[in-house]
Chains A and B, each alone.
Chain A
Amino acid sequence: MAKLFLTTRLLITTVSAVVISFNASAGNFTKVDNSKSSINFTSKQMGVAVDGNFKKFEANVSLDPEKIESAKGWISIELASINTGSKEGNDEVQGKNWFSVKSFPNARFDLKNIKSAGNGHLTITGDLTIKGKTKPITTEATLKVNGNSAILEGKFIFKRLDFSIGEGQWGDVDVVANDVNIHYKLLLK
């Protein structure tokens, strides 16, 4: 009887230790692994979906899956690292009518609030600043914790003209649609 008691105690202790160590390893994510993260976008030109992405960005996060609603962070994207799918496209969008990268080299997202709907489903709100204009945006995301890393993945639609992206002759949304779909995937560590 004493032996069984001891075995049970040992089992409970072991299970507790595993749970504690799992929590400890999940812990607080503070880094974004750029090599395994991506920020992609899809725009529409004359009804044709055209994919692109940003190659360089840096992020500063503090995110604890157990206390997700108190997470903090920002992401800064180097706009000159854009890949629109063609060289002439890349050259064009760096100019004054588009991102005007000489004056505004980065786009920045500042996290304001995360609401959890359970099961890793999140509603994230924050301020997006591009070309000197700041607007609030909301994005639906999922967080998948896997040991000591986690994948935060989500999408949102933003209107390019809210940020004066594509001005002048490019203002015609029948040629380049106002809606741009953003799809991001961040590997947190």
Chain B
Amino acid sequence: MKNSNYTWPAISFHWLIAIGIFICFPIGMYMADLKLSPLKLQLISYHKWLGVTIFGLLVLRIVWRSFNKPPALPSTMPKWQIGLSHATHLALYLLMIAIPVSGWLMSSAKGYTTVYLGMFPLPDLLEKDKALGHNLAELQEILNYFLLLLVGLHIGAAIKHHIIDRDDILTRMSPWIKRK
């Protein structure tokens, strides 16, 4: 029998990054409007550390993926769905790169070095420039709304494949779920 599941590292990367995003995103939304307080400084740091972690996992994930092809899509899928699925996945990867990088640049431009876990300083890629920092913050916000939209589409599609098409799209990434 042909194994149509993802490899366990691919599954781990997917879910670790998913959990990371589901924590990092709301922290970012919440902290942005907080008045300056110790809590705000803590949340900003946790958000950055998590963002760096997600980015690091993503780099490993891309390396893994480039040596381990994902399983083929079900032969029952129409061409337009295959095209849309590839486009969505590509866009998700691009956003998962662009969002942490824009955050890192924003932090540099605002004059705050990103110090991973409070111990390992990342290089500042930009000189301090308040206006640029503000623009990068706006850019990151917009990119995050795109991410929200595409993650919604991604989850919706997975559910639709599971319940309506009754194929293995959801279960091959979530082996603990029983196929319908």
- Chain A bound to chain B: yes
- A120: interface (CB < 8 Å): no
B38 contacts A170, CB within 8 Å? yes
Closest B residue, CB atoms, query A88: B36
B157 CB, nearest partner CB in chain A, Å: 39
Interface centre among A46, A86, A91 (most CB of B within 10 A): A46
Interface centre among B38, B110, B114, B117 (most CB of A within 10 A): B38
Which residues of B96-121 are within 8 A (CB) of A? 110-115, 117-119, 121
Task: Please give 15 more A-B residue pairs, beta carbons under 8 A apart, in addition to A47-B118, A50-B112, A86-B110.
Answer: A46-B41, A46-B44, A47-B45, A48-B112, A49-B113, A88-B35, A88-B36, A89-B36, A91-B36, A170-B38, A172-B38, A175-B38, A175-B42, A176-B38, A176-B41
> Given A92-B36, A169-B37: A46 and B113 within 8 A (CB)?
no
Interface residues on B, range: 10 to 19
Which residues of B23-72 are within 8 A (CB) of A? 35-38, 41-42, 44-45
Interface residues on A, range: 10 to 19
Closest B residue, CB atoms, query A168: B38
List of B residues within 8 angstroms of A7 by Cβ: none
- A21: interface (CB < 8 Å): no
List of B residues within 8 angstroms of A47 by Cβ: 45, 115, 117-119
Interface centre among A47, A51, A85, A172 (most CB of B within 10 A): A47
Contact with B along A151-178 (1 / 0, CB 8 A): 0000000000000000001101001100
Interface residues of chain A: helix, strand, loop or mixed (majority): mixed
A88 CB, nearest partner CB in chain B, Å: 5
Binding site for B on A (CB under 8 A): 45-51, 85-86, 88-89, 91-92, 169-170, 172, 175-176
B42 contacts A46, CB within 8 Å? yes
List of B residues within 8 angstroms of A49 by Cβ: 113
Which residues of B73-126 are within 8 A (CB) of A? 110-115, 117-119, 121
List of A residues within 8 angstroms of B118 by Cβ: 46-48
List of B residues within 8 angstroms of A48 by Cβ: 45, 112-115, 118, 121
List of B residues within 8 angstroms of A169 by Cβ: 37-38
List of B residues within 8 angstroms of A51 by Cβ: 111
Closest B residue, CB atoms, query A171: B38
Contact with A along B118-162 (1 / 0, CB 8 A): 110100000000000000000000000000000000000000000
Closest 8 CB pairs of A and B: A47-B118, A46-B45, A175-B38, A47-B115, A88-B36, A48-B115, A92-B36, A85-B111
Closest B residue, CB atoms, query A166: B38
Closest A residue, CB atoms, query B120: A47
Closest A residue, CB atoms, query B128: A85
Closest B residue, CB atoms, query A45: B41
Measured CA separation A86–B121 after assembly (Å): 20
Measured CA separation A31–B118 after assembly (Å): 42
Measured CA separation A50–B45 after assembly (Å): 14
Measured CA separation A47–B121 after assembly (Å): 9
The contact sample of 21 A-B pairs, CB cut-off 8 A, is A45-B41, A46-B41, A46-B45, A46-B115, A46-B118, A47-B45, A47-B115, A47-B117, A47-B118, A47-B119, A48-B112, A48-B113, A48-B115, A48-B121, A50-B112, A51-B111, A86-B111, A91-B36, A92-B36, A169-B38, A170-B38
Measured CA separation A172–B41 after assembly (Å): 12
Interface centre among A86, A172, A176 (most CB of B within 10 A): A86
